[in-house]
Structure 1
Amino acid sequence: MTAFTLAELAERLGAQLHGDATALISAVGTLEEATSGQISFLSNSKYRKFLQTTTAGAVLIKDEDREFCPVNALVVKDPYVAFARIAQWLDSTPAAAQGRAANIQIDPSALVPDSVQIGANVVIAAGAVIGENVQIGAGCFIGEGAVIGAGCKIWPNVTLYHRVQLGKNCLVHSGAVIGADGFGFANERGRWVKIPQTGTVLIGDDCEIGANTTIDRGALENTVIGQNVILDNQVQIAHNVQIGDHTAIAGCTVVAGSTKIGRYCIIGGACAINGHMDICDGVQITGMSMIIKSITEKGIYSSGTPASSNLEWRKNSVRFRQLDQMYQKLRELEQQVQRLSSAPPQDE
């Protein structure tokens, strides 16, 4: 079991230590439930009431909260980020694969270093190139000419189609499908004619792809995911989409074809983004929003309607259908007011 003294953690984080430097920390926990061998954090002062009764071995806090902490403390600028770092150092998640199973298929032309761990029933096709220290879980398929960068961890039952490229240190969760055909068809008098999707998918370093997320290959050019992009579970990225570095997209969001999303964007769950949109850097989109035109200015955008009582919703639904009628009446009233205000005064 991995464990660190508070002195070691303070040195790694560049934190100010207040308390017992020799105290051992072997796990993370919440302020309410953490015990003596665990470390927790306080990043929002409204949860300070839990700090006063915590039994954690130590707490990551800001300097302004230190006087309220009854246990060992590590003072840092951002407790939540520090907590994430420590959680990584103490992570006990098992490997996606250990060693090499007997029933795997590796094409003789594929380049697979000895350091690659491979689970049962994995198929690695011709010309694939796998980097050092990659873990490939059971039941994965790595297509012809695919490239996986060093240090990637691929959980079971992931499919990488032909020529897909993953950067270094990516994490791909179970059920993800990367490089399937984009939705490209021509219509000939009512009959759909398929357009072969000849591009691929290029994914940068340090990305995370959620479970059952799908990223379609490009039609002619490539679908491109930048560096340190995180995609939640069940996200759909269509063909030729481009996503800038450090952008995060929450679960069940759909991005239609040829849309460009900038850097440092945050997109909430269950959003729908129309095709051929341009979204600039630093945009935040709240959950269940529908984007039907490009966004050219940094800011927060919303279109989802929060839930209300059924009775209120039914009333508003009727009123919504009457909007055009109400608008026309309002214009008539405005025109009447304008005529009255511009009419010459009457002689008394």
Structure 2
Amino acid sequence: MQYGTKTPRRWAWALVVALAGWACVAQAAVLPGPLVNPPWLNDHAKEVQIVDIRDSLGSLTNDPKFSTVKGQKVLDEVGGHIPDALSVNFWGLRQKHVVDGKTVDFMLPTAKEFQESMQAVQLEPNKPIVIVPTGDDATSLQEAAFFAWELQVFGVPAEQIAILNGGMHAWISAGYAVDTDAIAPMTSSKWQAKAPDVALLATTEQVQAAQRTHGLLLDARPLAQFAGLERTPVVPKAGRLAGASPLPAELLYRNADDGSWRFLSAQVYRKVLAGAGMHRVSPGIVYCNTGQYAAGAWFVVHRIMGVKGLREYPGGMNEWEQRGLPVEAF
């Protein structure tokens, strides 16, 4: 039986569609999970988009700072970035919006605002993303988690997003290459944001409904803020939302032997949270002051532990108090 050298047009089109689908599946399958380590990223750097995120971009061009302890070279402060990394300014992930006639800072951007920001950093569509925090402190992990949450909110599939556990601190401590040249994109990309995924978001009205029905409300801030003993300058009053339970930031991160801050494993989180009396972490709503602590908790529960149904109230205490709503303290 002879076969012609030309494939029928409809078969050719079906083949193109199938190959495109297989390519997307193959790319999505690159990431081993929500967290990667430095050796894995070094081996797969060409297969992913490495996106550095930090709140002080000046350190991108600084040399790392070391000291000597008992004859050993110890990294004190991250400097530089992974070669060929893109750069996201953490402070650019929130915007000012008008709430009840007031201009409120640190709010979730619109899809258009987020899209413009990601295009400016040359984020590519349909290519796995590894987010790299500094790893110098727990706050940097929360910043990476917040970015991961926003990416998922605006349409990036979860399986295409991972965080480098330990961040640049772990990368440098492991002896991998560091670049101190400025990251200065000369063009923009065609990355597109989708409408926000409402399954990941909670509104003020939904928080109030959870209060009325005794739904699960989790406060992801440090315990002193939950108790009303401390507050951040962003919010006018110390306190918490009525009916909230603590999911304290102190339980979610550890300082590793190399000095980097890291997320824990799903197995360890289950033991830690159970030991703290947190037997239920979903479905419900998690909040903090402006979204950062809450995103860290969301990443732990939703991505690392694999427990779905936890939504974030992105405006947090900031939006709540700007609306003149009540808070309580011990």
**Which structure dedicates a bigger proportion of its chain to helix?**
2
Q: Give the greater-gyration-radius structure (CA).
A: 1
Shorter-chain TM-score: which interval? under 0.3
Q: Which has the higher contact order (CA 8 A, sep 6+)?
A: 2
